[in-house]
Amino acid sequence: MRPASGLAARLGLPVRDLDLLGQALVHSSYLHEHPGLVAAHNERLEFLGDAVVNLVVSEALYTRHPGDDEGTLSARRAAIVSTAGLARLAGRIELGAWLLLGAGESRRGGRLRPSLLASGFEALAGALYLDLGYEATRDWLVGLARPEIEADLPLGTLKSPKSQLQEYTQQRLGQRPVYRIVTVSGPDHARLFRIEVLVEDEVVGVGEGPSRRTAETAAAASALAALAGRDRDRP
């Protein structure tokens, strides 16, 4: 079974253009290794799907949370459309199993990498939008993300690790954390960033990821855990 056919069956949607859906599953590493097997990778569909997902989630949150102001709605949306949030949605449909990855990317655990799953999910949303239209894509997305859309979580729990760390350091120390690139390795289509975050010239967290933003987020999460541990240990 072709990946597109298998995913269409998994989604239970009346997909008409399997070639378009198939393109949404092609990572650039696969095209790089197999230029004669596929015509294009999924990055153009990812660009379109990013806009589709943001509009659908914004509309759903606006309707579901009529008492929220703009800032709270923005925080709720950011939590859902973040790399981690979209990777969670991708996991619900087992998207990683259907992605076409290069051999190297697959060996490095690409099918489980949040950034790759998130970009693949956006490409999928873009393909479904072009094939089925906005309403069908909206209904599918809202159904998939219903737990996050309907959740009434406190605003503080919705903020990204970077935002939480910045608030922590500004409130306690009156300064912002500093992010520093330690290394950048790997080929162009499979970069790996390693980043440190410093507070008062001390390294308090380290993170890795396929993009600078993802690595900074991981470093901030590491720093928050370390700083929380210090707070607990203080008498």
Residue 224 Cα distances to 69, 127, 216, angstroms: 27, 37, 12
Question: Quick one: how far is CA 172 from the chain centroid?
Answer: 30
Write the DSSP string, 17-62: -HHHHHHHTB-HHHHHH-TTT-S--SHHHHHHHHHHHHHHHHHHHH
Name every residue whose Cβ is closer than 8 Å to that of residue 30 and which is 6 or more positions away in sequence. Answer: 38, 41, 100, 101, 102, 105
Dump strand ranges (E) for the chain.
Answer: 178-185, 192-199, 202-209
Find the catalytic residue in 46, 105, 122, 131.
122
Q: What is the CATH number of domain 3-153?
A: 1.10.1520.10
Residue ranges per domain, the chain? 3-153, 161-233
Domain 161-233 class in CATH: alpha beta
pLDDT of residue 132: 97
Residue by residue, pLDDT tens for the chain (235 residues) are 478 889 999 999 999 999 999 999 999 888 888 888 888 899 999 999 999 999 999 999 999 999 999 988 988 898 899 888 899 899 999 999 999 988 888 887 878 888 889 999 999 999 999 999 999 999 999 999 999 999 886 666 667 788 889 988 998 888 999 999 999 988 776 788 999 999 999 999 998 888 888 889 888 888 888 887 777 666 6
17 part of the active site: no
> What pLDDT is attached to residue 213?
86
Catalytic residue among 50, 131, 148, 196: 50
pLDDT tens by residue, 79-134: 899 888 899 899 999 999 999 988 888 887 878 888 889 999 999 999 999 999 99
50 carries an active-site annotation:
yes
- Would you state the pLDDT for residue 38? 85
- Cβ atoms of residues 44 and 26 within 8 Å: no
Cα of first residue to Cα of last residue in the chain, in angstroms, is 61
Q: Tell me, what's the pLDDT at 1?
A: 45
Same fold flag, 3-153 and 161-233: no
Q: With contact defined as beta carbons under 8 Å apart, do 191 and 109 qualify?
A: no
